[in-house]
Structure 1
Amino acid sequence: MPPTATARSLQGVRKWLVLLVALCGLIGPVAQSPAVGQRYTPIVMSVTSGPQWFKGTDGSYSLVYELRLTNGFGTPVKISSIGVRDGDGKPLVRLAGTRLRRSLTLLADPTKPTLEVPGSTVAVAWMQLRFAHRSEIPSRIEHVLTVRPSPGLPVPRSIADVGGRAKVDLAGPVVIGPPLVGDNWVAVGSCCDGPHRRALQPVNGRLFLGQRFAVDWNGMDAEDRFVNGDPDTNAGWTFYGKPVVAVADATVVEAVDRFPEQVPNDARPVTLQEADGNYVILKIGPHQFVGYAHLQHGSVAVRAGQHVRRGDPVGALGNSGSSTGPHLHFQVMDAPSLVAANGLPFVIDRFTEVGTIPPLSAALARRLARGLPAPIDRHGAGPQVDALPLGRDVVDFP
């Protein structure tokens, strides 16, 4: 039966509606004006996990966390400043200019500082707030973010927003004993100036930062030498094979000892499963675990389910897994995994601060590789109680 005039008219309307819907899909959603009291905020702020604090060997108290910045616009947004306030609105710190740039990276490129967040992209502000006294640490924080969207958008040229509210974990750091024994140990990588701090990993559908407070331990002999032999062999490093010990009474959760040693400065590629090398994980308390990685092949002295006492042998310092030279990677975390966990702050209950070595320049690296003594700034040397050795600290353990 031929269509009636009315049916033909309805078919025409349907065709126009289909065309209109298709065009809207190409152009994108129509920007609507927010209701009264609402406004567009191109960057959405969130704190990845509860801010946590520790005391360092410099006597200051550091509050550490990550502020995630998600650009909800399809165009770049420049970050002008990040202010931090306590729960009562009292300003604590303001990051801008060079200081802000050093603290801000894209999620996918944590080594490259930036002040601009591309459209539909996530950035991370790696936050560390320092306080002279523990009593100054706030119980809550919030952030004041000032940004400049790309020109030509129906928004102000500068936008300030308050968000990223978070409750501070005031429980304090985990107190442990030393993971090594003897003198002249060097915290080559520690919180919060090394690659550990920014090793945010997407694992099992979540973002984890198990290495947030991790330390890489190297050592020197009595003459302050890292090397006493061929630096291209493990045995040439003065601290290779030294005992690694339990930091507390604990239960062994996992112990792996099947991966070969790497050759210093000529490491072969490894899989994700081999990245930690030979490792041990201990449970030292409810939701508190410690991890020792890159242990020497054949040295692991414990097995899963075993109970150990503080100071008991765990293994020996090695060079297995994703490692370019002998060292002990040590961290405290909230789950029994070196990767799928969040790092917890920790302090060592008793040790002696010897001094600090300079940043590792190419010239210093060549000097150390030749077996020459490391220069040590001994300012601030003395006993330490319940503190975390900071980057490049030289310490003696009981």
Structure 2
Amino acid sequence: MQRRRPRTAPAGGLALGAVVLLALTACSGGSGGSASSSPPPSSVSPSATAGADAPTRTDAPEQFTPVVMDVMSTPRWFRGTDGQVHLVYELRLTNAFPIPATVTRAVVRDADSGTVLQTLSGDPLTASMSLLTSGSQPTTELATATTGVIWFDVPLADPSAVPARIDHELTVTVPPGLPVPETITSTGAPADVDVDAPTVIGAPLAGTGWFAVGSCCDGPHRRTAQPITNQLWVSQRFAIDFNKINDQGYLAVGDRSKNESWPTYDQPVLAVADAKVTIAQDGLPDQTPQAPTPVTIEEADGNHVILQLADGVYAFYAHLKPGSVSVQAGDRVTKGQVIGRTGNSGSSTGSHLHFQLMDRPSALAADGLPYVFDSFTVTGRGPALDELMATDPATTPVVLDPATAGPRTDELPLGRDVVTFPSP
């Protein structure tokens, strides 16, 4: 396992009372209409960082910003199998006005040069935004006192295009007839970017037919913020659920109620690097495929292993087969060593390997970290998750599009990729 730097250095799931509206009138000086109000970029403090308050310059004009922006955690990047660099992070949007607001445009900029990195509006904006608690339901509408998120995946040409800092320009509209402009554009939410290259690791599995389900940057993992110990965490930002397709293209063969009928089941799980075992749990039973029973939060990960790869870098393997975990806390493991076997334990609807990296030894209370696999081959791309879930895995083979097939080095499989990992 190693941390590689870019070859070239990056560039520098409601009406309020009249009292509040009267207060708005007094503070705004009675301005109205549809004019846009936008402060200059100099209102962004150069010392602000992600998650911190961003003070403005005293010479910047004051304005009402109904939707308050902040970056939830440090933006980080990886290279995907599409050949692009992906800068991934979340922009939290809080509607602090006593009226609804609609986000119509969001711009990401290099805070140092002012270069526009991404502009979202219309359908792409809607697809990228949701309420904090409803990640699978796209919306640009924010009722009063609600929180939304833009789940940013900013495509860049190469690592040299990764900026050291970013900021944002947000445009929102509010209902007419109020003592504020109907369209308001503001600049803010500056954040430092982690320009270091993602962690390079070996494969957690071996062989052919591994379907990357829920990989970045869509799906249920990406849009899950967990409220743990009075803090929001997106630990599964870069998580993948690996499901195995057999040589005939099927995800299941025979009786689907048996774990053994799924090719994913009972496959060797490998250490992705030389590492120290931090947590190893075994003894929890497998679930019945597609008919799971409820579990507690302590049992949600099922039988699992957490490896410490480096300071602040941990690998998490979940839902392992009972009795298969072959390591214990404190052990040292080597890259490619078998540490368990795939199963269906914990909060799981079917046999799979849930894999992710994070900055703390917790599956939930941690910040998800990007990673790339040092070597694998893309076989092709499968159907979207919704389409896949609507088919019978024992009678309908997975059809792959081979357009993206080929060997890969230091990349992360994207959602729908089917890959072959080398033998350890």
C-alpha distance in structure 1 between counterparts of 2:109 and 2:366, whole Å: 28
C-alpha distance in structure 1 between counterparts of 2:357 and 2:179, whole Å: 47
- How many Å apart are 1:153 and its aligned residue? 2.4
Question: What residue is the counterpart of 1:302 in the other structure?
Answer: 327
**After superposition, what is the alpha-carbon deviation per residue over 1:260-290, rounded to whole angstroms, capped at 9, x for unaligned?**
1000111111121111111110000010000
Report the structure, 1 or 2, having the larger strand content.
1
Question: What amino acid is the match of 1:320?
Answer: S
Question: What residue is the counterpart of 2:48 in the other structure?
Answer: none
Larger radius of gyration between Structure 1 and Structure 2: 1
C-alpha distance in structure 2 between counterparts of 1:30 and 1:396, whole Å: 62
Question: What residue is the counterpart of 1:234 in the other structure?
Answer: 259
C-alpha distance in structure 2 between counterparts of 1:151 and 1:302, whole Å: 63
Question: What residue is the counterpart of 1:19 in the other structure?
Answer: none
Q: Which one of the candidate residues 27, 44, 49 is aligned to 2:73?
A: 49
C-alpha distance in structure 2 between counterparts of 1:258 and 1:138, whole Å: 46
Does residue 219 (structure 1) correspond to residue 244 (structure 2)? The answer is: yes
Within 5 Å, give how 1:214-293 maps onto structure 2. Answer: 214-293=239-318
C-alpha distance in structure 1 between counterparts of 2:96 and 2:77, whole Å: 31
C-alpha distance in structure 2 between counterparts of 1:382 and 1:114, whole Å: 36
C-alpha distance in structure 2 between counterparts of 1:56 and 1:47, whole Å: 23
| Residue identity (%) | 48
3-state SS of paired residue (2:404): coil
- Aligned-pair Cα RMSD in Å: 1.8
Question: What residue is the counterpart of 1:338 in the other structure?
Answer: 363
Question: What residue is the counterpart of 1:30 in the other structure?
Answer: 23
Q: Is the 8 A contact 2:28 2:179 kept in 1?
A: no
Does residue 192 (structure 1) correspond to residue 192 (structure 2)? The answer is: no
**After superposition, what is the alpha-carbon deviation per residue over 1:29-50, rounded to whole angstroms, capped at 9, x for unaligned?**
8344269921111111100011
3-state SS of paired residue (2:355): strand
3-state SS of paired residue (2:125): helix
Question: What residue is the counterpart of 1:85 in the other structure?
Answer: 109
- How many Å apart are 1:357 and its aligned residue? 1.2
**After superposition, what is the alpha-carbon deviation per residue over 1:99-137, rounded to whole angstroms, capped at 9, x for unaligned?**
111111111221211111111111110000111222122
Q: Which one of the candidate residues 88, 91, 95 is aligned to 1:71?
A: 95
- How many Å apart are 1:145 and its aligned residue? 0.4
Does residue 312 (structure 1) correspond to residue 337 (structure 2)? The answer is: yes
- How many Å apart are 1:181 and its aligned residue? 1.3
**After superposition, what is the alpha-carbon deviation per residue over 1:6-55, rounded to whole angstroms, capped at 9, x for unaligned?**
xxxxxxxxxxxxxxxxxxx9945834426992111111110001111000
- How many Å apart are 1:326 and its aligned residue? 0.5
C-alpha distance in structure 2 between counterparts of 1:198 and 1:376, whole Å: 26
Q: How many residues in Structure 1 have an aligned counterpart in Structure 2?
A: 373
3-state SS of paired residue (2:319): strand
Question: What amino acid is the match of 2:85?
Answer: Y
Identify if the C-alpha distance between structure 1 residues 263 and 210 changes in structure 2 by more than 3 Å, giving closer, same or farther: same
3-state SS of paired residue (1:93): strand
C-alpha distance in structure 2 between counterparts of 1:382 and 1:274, whole Å: 38
- How many Å apart are 1:365 and its aligned residue? 4.7
Q: Is the 8 A contact 2:215 2:239 kept in 1?
A: yes
Identify if the C-alpha distance between structure 1 residues 365 and 230 changes in structure 2 by more than 3 Å, giving closer, same or farther: farther
C-alpha distance in structure 2 between counterparts of 1:47 and 1:136, whole Å: 20
Question: What amino acid is the match of 2:298?
Answer: Q
Identify if the C-alpha distance between structure 1 residues 152 and 137 changes in structure 2 by more than 3 Å, giving closer, same or farther: same
Q: Which one of the candidate residues 346, 358, 375 is aligned to 2:399?
A: 375
Deviates more, 1:331-340 or 1:351-360: 351-360
Does residue 391 (structure 1) correspond to residue 385 (structure 2)? The answer is: no
Does residue 182 (structure 1) correspond to residue 207 (structure 2)? The answer is: yes
3-state SS of paired residue (1:99): helix
3-state SS of paired residue (2:256): coil
Q: Is the 8 A contact 1:229 1:235 kept in 2?
A: no
Q: Which one of the candidate residues 39, 50, 53 is aligned to 2:63?
A: 39
Does residue 205 (structure 1) correspond to residue 230 (structure 2)? The answer is: yes
3-state SS of paired residue (2:375): strand
Deviates more, 1:286-295 or 1:374-383: 374-383
Question: What amino acid is the match of 1:393?
Answer: D
C-alpha distance in structure 2 between counterparts of 1:34 and 1:89, whole Å: 29
Question: What residue is the counterpart of 2:137 in the other structure?
Answer: 112
Does residue 352 (structure 1) correspond to residue 377 (structure 2)? The answer is: yes
C-alpha distance in structure 1 between counterparts of 2:19 and 2:379, whole Å: 65
- How many Å apart are 1:387 and its aligned residue? 0.3
- How many Å apart are 1:229 and its aligned residue? 2.1
C-alpha distance in structure 2 between counterparts of 1:281 and 1:45, whole Å: 34
3-state SS of paired residue (2:278): strand
Deviates more, 1:104-113 or 1:40-49: 104-113
- How many Å apart are 1:146 and its aligned residue? 0.6
Deviates more, 1:221-230 or 1:265-274: 221-230
TM (norm. structure 1) is 0.90
> Can you give the 5+ residue segments of structure 2 that lack an aligned partner in the other structure?
1-16, 30-59
- How many Å apart are 1:202 and its aligned residue? 0.8
Question: What residue is the counterpart of 2:349 in the other structure?
Answer: 324
3-state SS of paired residue (1:109): coil
Q: Is the 8 A contact 1:355 1:380 kept in 2?
A: yes
TM (norm. structure 2) is 0.85
Identify if the C-alpha distance between structure 1 residues 93 and 26 changes in structure 2 by more than 3 Å, giving closer, same or farther: closer
**After superposition, what is the alpha-carbon deviation per residue over 1:130-184, rounded to whole angstroms, capped at 9, x for unaligned?**
1122212222111110111233321111110001111111012111000001122
Question: What residue is the counterpart of 2:168 in the other structure?
Answer: 143
Identify if the C-alpha distance between structure 1 residues 166 and 379 changes in structure 2 by more than 3 Å, giving closer, same or farther: same
